[in-house]
Amino acid sequence: MPALALAPALRPAPRIVPRPGPGLELPAVSFFGRSLAEYAQCFALDLAALKGRDVLDVGAGPSSFTVEACARKIDAVAIDPLYGEGAEALAARVETDYTRMFGQMRAKRRLFRLNSFSSLAAAEIDRRAAAQRFIADYEARFYHGRYVGGALPRLPFFDGTFDLVLCAHLLFLHAAQFDFDWHLAAGRELVRVSAGEVRIHPICGPDGKPYPGLVRLRRELRDAGIASEVRAVDYEFFAGANTMLVLRRAAP
């Protein structure tokens, strides 16, 4: 299990001003998650190649990636600002956020491509099952270090702790809530704790449009010694979410 550099600490949620629009309304970062199968698609993962490797899921929420990955002998760790709360409180948060999010999805069906599910109902069943797997494992494994409380742009791990770092549906999906400097600091921090690649999905906002600061972000990361690449993925749950940003330390 990767060592911690400092004690986990929960960070207060940023003050959010709702911004209604044609896309999903995301006035705050929801406690929302997905399964290992969905991660494998949206991050183009070779799960067999990850066996025995150290993998970090950042902003993991109630995703079941970590519990399922560990069952496959992948040394996975998840980090989220809400970890540290009791399992009952997290289960209640799941119910609140899932009800709200799936209500929006049904109301804005036109935004979704669903190439990985037969319907929104099937997606909801799959993601609620993933959350249930997470809750059961969290209750048993939080004190074993599998789930760590913490948040970007400062993660409680040593430099280069993980072979692969994943960040799903956080940075660019919530670009309205975090300014450019936060995104730059977050990108640098994700690379700091990685000994290999960082994969960030998606690169668009809830309206399906690319993150407007992407060119500038990649340029400033390059100036900081971080190489970046936009890769297509065979996955698109909502319109425009079919790419990921890959970061790694640039070769000397």
Q: For 13-36, what is the mean pLDDT? A: 66
Q: What residues have CB less than 8 Å from 83, skipping those under 6 apart? A: 8, 10, 138, 142, 147, 148, 149, 150
Provide the pLDDT for residue 217: 98
Residue of 118 and 152 predicted with greater confidence? 152
pLDDT at 28 over 90: no
Omega into 62 within 30° of 0, i.e. cis?
no
Task: State percent of the chain over pLDDT 70.
Answer: 90
Mean pLDDT of all residues belonging to the chain: 89
Q: Beta partners for 157?
A: 4
pLDDT at 161 over 50: yes
Provide the pLDDT for residue 21: 52
Please write the tens of the pLDDT for every residue from 57-71: 999 999 999 999 999
Q: Which CATH architecture fits 36-249?
A: 3-Layer(aba) Sandwich (3.40)
Q: For 82-92, what is the mean pLDDT? A: 97
Comparing 79-83, 90-94, 101-105, 246-250, the range with the smallest average pLDDT is 101-105
d(CA 238, CA 244): 14
| Strand order through the sheet with 162-168 | 147-149, 75-80, 54-58, 162-168, 194-201, 243-249, 226-232
Domain boundaries of the chain, sorted by first residue: 36-249
To which residue do tokens 């209604």 refer? 20
d(CA 30, CA 80): 11
Provide the pLDDT for residue 226: 98
How would you class 227 by CB atoms within 10 Å of its CB: exposed for 0-12, middle for 13-18, buried for 19 or more?
middle
Please write the tens of the pLDDT for every residue from 126-155: 999 999 999 999 999 998 999 999 999 999
d(CA 179, CA 164): 25
Residue 76 — φ and ψ, nearest 5°? -95, 145
Provide the pLDDT for residue 55: 98
